[in-house]
A = this chain, B = another copy of it.
Amino acid sequence: MAEIFEASSVGIVEPQLAKFEESLALECGHILDSFELVYETYGSLNKNRDNAVLICHALSGNHHAAGFHSHDEERPGWWDEYIGPGKPINTKKFFVVSLNNLGGCHGSTGPCSENPVTSKPWGNNFPSIRVKDWVQSQARLADRLNINSWAAVIGGSLGGMQVMQWAIDYPSRIRNALVIASALKLSAQNIAFNEIARQAILTDPGFAGGDYLNMKSAPETGLALARMIGHVTYLSDDAMASKFGRELRSGSFDDNLSDTIEFQVESYLRYQGRRFSGQFDANSYILMTRALDLFDLARDYNDNAVEAFSAAKCKFLIVSFTTDWRFSPSRSREIVEALIAAKQNVTYLEIQADEGHDAFLLPIPKYFQTMSAYMDGIEISLNS
């Protein structure tokens, strides 16, 4: 909580809701007659409307990327370190738009929304969403905001997939693509971890076949387990070693009462699981992980990423982190190699960082400086 905000904070922000009455044809074949997107903006759109930046969130993210919703809010938005006056995504220069994706559970149309046909929550009947659908719906939001071309579209992990899709699907509407800790498609291991997370939710009796909202139950333990799996895999072995080591939370090896021994990392994980479980919707989690699994940038281009990227017109910044093993540097290098072969303008930086996949959210000096320098270099109209 901050009574008076720092000069580098965007301060109090208010989410806005955009209602779209024109139908949206999804990749899965389903047509949404209408939908809503909740979003926040930071900074001001300039006269030429060419300083807008879109933030695409990852698996468990939402529209609240920076600032505070109230003076009582304990933590700022999830990427507050990077968004604000004077920060890398400088709100003195840019007009930043951050939305909750379709299928999410923080205010945009998703499994918790009312299905107009049944007048009950969609639950697990909400249509399957793919990365292309998100990009299409984000383009509708851009239309609504009169943003013809984004100065930059930025995202990490699943967010980075949306950025790449933007570069391909709307080449004339994006000038810079910042793809952080992402991949052209998931590996079998990644799909496997997502599947275990889904199984934890699906097999929780509280899931009630996905109809838990109507049944007044909740797959709390399943969702907590899913989060625990995600959390461990987003951290590196080294990061966990330095954060927890083999420190005990309770008990002692000396008194020989094995049953009372509990490692710090155990209670930390359980806490993270419980906390997430109270904040996120299980059907949304399943939807998001499926979107991750099904994303394959090159699929519509003869499985050729070079061909996929050939129509892109923007500049690319690709960033990876050395200890990220869910979206490893080798996955980012695949993106870079395809971009080079497609004769695109690409800058690649592999950041030395101990924090694993979570590094993409953190103010690691070299990463922070890189983002600042790149964003500072983006040309926009000076008339505000």
Contacts and interface: CB of A to CB of B under 8 A. Distances in A.
Given A27-B256, A28-B256, A269 B187 contact: no
A128 B196 contact: no
Contacts of A273: 199
Given A225-B203, A266-B195, A269-B196, A187 B259 contact: no
Interface in A228-244: 228-229, 232, 235-237, 240-241, 243-244
A294 interface: yes
Given A28-B259, A269-B196, A240 B128 contact: no
A258 B27 CA distance: 8
Contacts of A257: 28-29
Interface string A29-49: 100000000000000000000
B299 A265 contact: no
A246 B203 contact: no
A57 interface: no
Interface in A154-187: 185-187
Query: For A189, A205, A245, A263, which residue has the most chain B Cβ atoms within 10 angstroms?
Result: A189
A87 interface: no
Contacts of A224: 199, 203
B258 A130 contact: yes
A246 B191 contact: yes
A307 interface: no
Interface of A: 27-29, 128, 130, 185-189, 191-193, 195-196, 199-200, 203, 205, 221, 224-225, 228-229, 232, 235-237, 240-241, 243-246, 253, 256-259, 261, 263, 265-266, 269-270, 273, 290, 293-294, 296, 299, 325, 328
22 contacts: A27-B258, A29-B256, A188-B243, A188-B246, A188-B265, A189-B232, A189-B236, A189-B237, A191-B263, A191-B266, A192-B265, A192-B266, A192-B269, A195-B228, A195-B265, A199-B221, A199-B224, A199-B273, A200-B200, A253-B299, A261-B294, A325-B325
